[in-house]
């Protein structure tokens, strides 16, 4: 059952878990494989984006990714490969990064601890990241739509399917009693 607590001081656990998911997303950025065909590396960031929405719910999942982006914007090296700063948001990876809070929010709104629903919500979140990321490449980096798909979507699909499976397995394996006890799911 989702808690009705807001993100204010009434539920400091949500703030703590949001900060934890931001930290995990930053760690996921360091687990990276550069691709010679793409300016976008393979990372584990989007695994933690999906988990933030599923485990924290829409608002706290969104907040966790805003915290993550804010840390990078103020200069902490939390983006892929230890990069930081506003310039990263204006690089070819910027659209993907900017999609993280929205994807976490959508996943959090849709997920519910059910295998099928969680798989669909995680997949929709990944697709949202792809659409915003590839669109950014087309709009601001002179990629054609085919080039953006070839460099920013297709190489990532197999790994992201695996990440969706892992995220869903983690979420559905967590007993409802634990989720309720921790009070970490809040719309």
CATH classification at residue 149: 1.10.1760.20
State pLDDT tens for residues 122-136.
Answer: 999 999 999 999 999
Query: Does any domain span residue 7?
Result: no
Structurally, the chain folds into a number of domains equal to 1
Residue 1 lies in a domain: no
| pTM for this entry | 0.91
Q: Is residue 76 part of a domain?
A: yes
Domain-located, residue 5: no
Q: Looking at the domain assignment, is residue 31 inside a domain? A: yes
pLDDT of residue 8: 52
Instruction: Judge whether 2 lies within some domain.
Output: no
**Domain extent at residue 152:** 12-182
DSSP conformation letters of 26-58: HHHHHSEE--TT-SSPEESHHHHHHHHHHHHHH
**Average pLDDT rounded to a whole number, residues 29-56:** 96
């Amino acid at each position: 059952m989702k808690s009705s607590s807001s993100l204010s001081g009434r539920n400091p656990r949500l703030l703590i878990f949001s900060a934890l998911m931001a930290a995990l997303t930053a760690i996921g950025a360091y687990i990276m494989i550069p691709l010679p065909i793409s300016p976008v590396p393979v990372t584990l960031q989007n695994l933690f984006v999906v988990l933030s929405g599923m485990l924290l719910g829409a608002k706290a999942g969104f907040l966790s990714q805003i915290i993550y982006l804010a840390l990078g914007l103020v200069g902490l090296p939390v983006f892929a490969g230890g990069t930081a700063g506003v310039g990263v948001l204006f690089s070819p990876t910027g659209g993907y990064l900017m999609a993280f809070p929205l994807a976490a929010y959508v996943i959090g709104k849709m997920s519910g601890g059910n295998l099928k629903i969680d798989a669909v919500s995680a997949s929709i979140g990944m697709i949202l990241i792809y659409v915003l990321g590839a669109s950014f490449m087309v709009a601001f980096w002179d990629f054609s739509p085919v080039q953006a798909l070839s460099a920013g979507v297709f190489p990532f699909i197999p790994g992201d399917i695996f990440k969706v499976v892992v995220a869903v397995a983690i979420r559905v394996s967590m007993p409802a009693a634990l989720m309720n006890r921790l009070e970490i799911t809040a719309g």
